[in-house]
Structure 1
């Protein structure tokens, strides 16, 4: 949006963008689709901007979203899971090898076959941690729309198809409800949130990639994993956060043509199939070498949602702690290692040499 637009125009456009995103997210939630509020908002806003609707999500709101997402991500690190991470060292090593192989093979496909740029291919190839990947890519010259679409398509297939294939004909009334973490008292959550904000500010000050999300994540994980403070973010706060994030991604499709969308879909599905082949092959090898159930290893290695993968493990009488520990280890490793790997592979963001932040909305 042009800088000359008045504050009132920007605010009105923002409200319209969020309203469209809310409608899309609500429809997806009613349909029971995966990552409903995020994906629905993204698709609704993307469709609206493709037919000419003006859209706007300011950078300040974006940074706040990333910070809150970092708090929520860190709350998944519980003392119980931390205690069991060291129980499967060889399996964890296999996870590292498989994740690396998935990234390399998917990057090669997107770079060589689809012809995407190096930065866009790199972020689109990262298996999982959608919010974190978007935070990193937003600091770069990567095509965030392509990255988000590729990641969302992967998530859709993993969550909507893979669990169904594994579970098979399990009746819906036999699927247990997930146990939600206890909500912290308001003063405790306020203290945890304040500490996470300080963590984000420190990470941004140190120019750590994805600093708003990364800083909050590590503070939240340390507080929750040690049992000092409960950092679970109440769902009423997370739903608007997902809507706004999805709307922000949707605005990136403003200059996309229908033919470009078709090419994006083909490239994203192809990248998913390449990554799935590597994941299945790696899970088969690790399961055979360590004498573990193949489905258990596959669920532990799949870059899907932690709760969904644990639920499928429970339904199949597998070890939910094994799945959770590997999913969290992958998540933490990505957040810990990727910013440094990104600096090595891609260098410093080009915009850091510019005067002030760039509003690309």
Structure 2
């Protein structure tokens, strides 16, 4: 009976949060489904969280398997983007892309240190708040590793809005009028369903499921996300490079919407008032660290354009710490190399998700060990 009530309660929260996601998606922001669901679930949690103590469900936070489903779907979506065009683009510009990914990690660490130095946030939360991995990925990993997901979600949302609202506008004014025709992104087009796609889809889901267990074995943070993403990416690589054939599977674009709603609801439903202590100072320095990150990546993109044959508009959008869809679409509108932008943005998300969480934990361990040593010496 308890499990039945908990499941129905979770569905109610997801549906209500999904309405919030739908309303915000009407603005045209691709991440609107997740931000809207997160905001709606947060409001429900803050408004009714205390009343849940006397109900059959002890808290409004929905069970973690909903987050797992959303993360697995997102991992499949990111892994599927690694097709033959993606690999050929990386092969042509591997040095530039690798250098910029390394710089983005360094600048993210510096941004996190700024936030940690001037606020009362713990080191782990500060690093996750500044990590340019995206609202869909970072808060879920942060929750699993014990960071303050409320602060991380706010900081990630601020960064996305700042990037989306400033960089495309600046480039639009500096680069002249947009191109007349805007083709559709191939990654966003859903092929019509065919019976032959069933086996490909089953293989895709099966590989993602295997990736979860592999992720747990190698101790990936958020194994449902990273394990499925890495395993599907490897499957794509084998099928496109070695077998010279694209994996034919039915994976409609609506899957990413469901993923956003589930992840946003899962995060928002666990947010409580104590997470927002000292919020004004946190918001201010989050904005400062975000502006620092945007400026340094913008400067790095300019230097990359001088040292390579890539135009500045392409490098600026590729290395901007914003959303994959927004930056890629802007590159199409302004006449940039959308394939290069898509490849770098996807690689940045993957690199940040795989490299930064263990690095953050290691730095936090060193800091705790240092503090313990200083305490013993005193």
Is the structural similarity TM-score above 0.5?
A: yes
Q: Distance in 2 between matches of 1:47 and 1:173?
A: 42
| Match of residue 177, structure 1, among 165, 184, 206 | 184
Cα drift, residue 222 of structure 1: 1.3
How many residue pairs end up in the alignment? 345
Cα drift, residue 86 of structure 1: 2.2
- Report what 1:227 is aligned to: 239
**SS of corresponding position for 1:127:** coil
Q: Distance in 2 between matches of 1:214 and 1:132?
A: 9
In the alignment, structure 1 residue 68 sits paired with structure 2 residue 73:
yes
Q: Distance in 2 between matches of 1:141 and 1:213?
A: 17
Q: Distance in 1 between matches of 2:157 and 2:179?
A: 25
Q: Distance in 2 between matches of 1:183 and 1:75?
A: 17
Evaluate the alpha carbon distance shift between residue 151 and residue 142 of structure 1 in structure 2; reply closer, same or farther with a 3 A threshold.
Answer: same
Q: What are the residue-to-residue correspondences of 1:1-361 with 2, within 5 Å?
A: 6-53=2-49, 55-168=60-173, 175-179=182-186, 180=189, 182=191, 185-227=197-239, 229-230=247-248, 233-256=251-274, 260-290=278-308, 292-346=310-364
Greater alpha carbon shift after TM alignment, 69-78 vs 304-313:
304-313
**CA contact under 8 A between 1:224 and 1:230: conserved in structure 2?**
no
Q: Supply the RMSD in Å over aligned alpha carbons.
A: 2.9
Evaluate the alpha carbon distance shift between residue 118 and residue 259 of structure 1 in structure 2; reply closer, same or farther with a 3 A threshold.
Answer: closer
**CA contact under 8 A between 1:79 and 1:226: conserved in structure 2?**
no
**CA contact under 8 A between 2:33 and 2:257: conserved in structure 1?**
yes
Cα drift, residue 149 of structure 1: 1.7
Structure 2-normalised TM-score?
A: 0.81
**CA contact under 8 A between 1:132 and 1:335: conserved in structure 2?**
yes
Q: Distance in 2 between matches of 1:129 and 1:233?
A: 22
Which string of whole-angstrom CA distances, capped at 9 and with x for unpartnered residues, describes residues 292-323 of structure 1? Answer: 42222111111223333222222222222322
- Runs of 5+ unmatched residues, structure 2: 50-58, 241-246, 369-378
Q: Distance in 2 between matches of 1:71 and 1:183?
A: 19
Evaluate the alpha carbon distance shift between residue 204 and residue 135 of structure 1 in structure 2; reply closer, same or farther with a 3 A threshold.
Answer: farther
- Report what 2:243 is aligned to: none
- Runs of 5+ unmatched residues, structure 1: 351-361
Q: Is the radius of gyration larger for structure 1 or structure 2?
A: 2
Evaluate the alpha carbon distance shift between residue 20 and residue 310 of structure 1 in structure 2; reply closer, same or farther with a 3 A threshold.
Answer: same
Greater alpha carbon shift after TM alignment, 181-190 vs 309-318:
181-190
Evaluate the alpha carbon distance shift between residue 257 and residue 305 of structure 1 in structure 2; reply closer, same or farther with a 3 A threshold.
Answer: closer
Greater alpha carbon shift after TM alignment, 53-62 vs 71-80:
53-62
Greater alpha carbon shift after TM alignment, 334-343 vs 110-119:
334-343
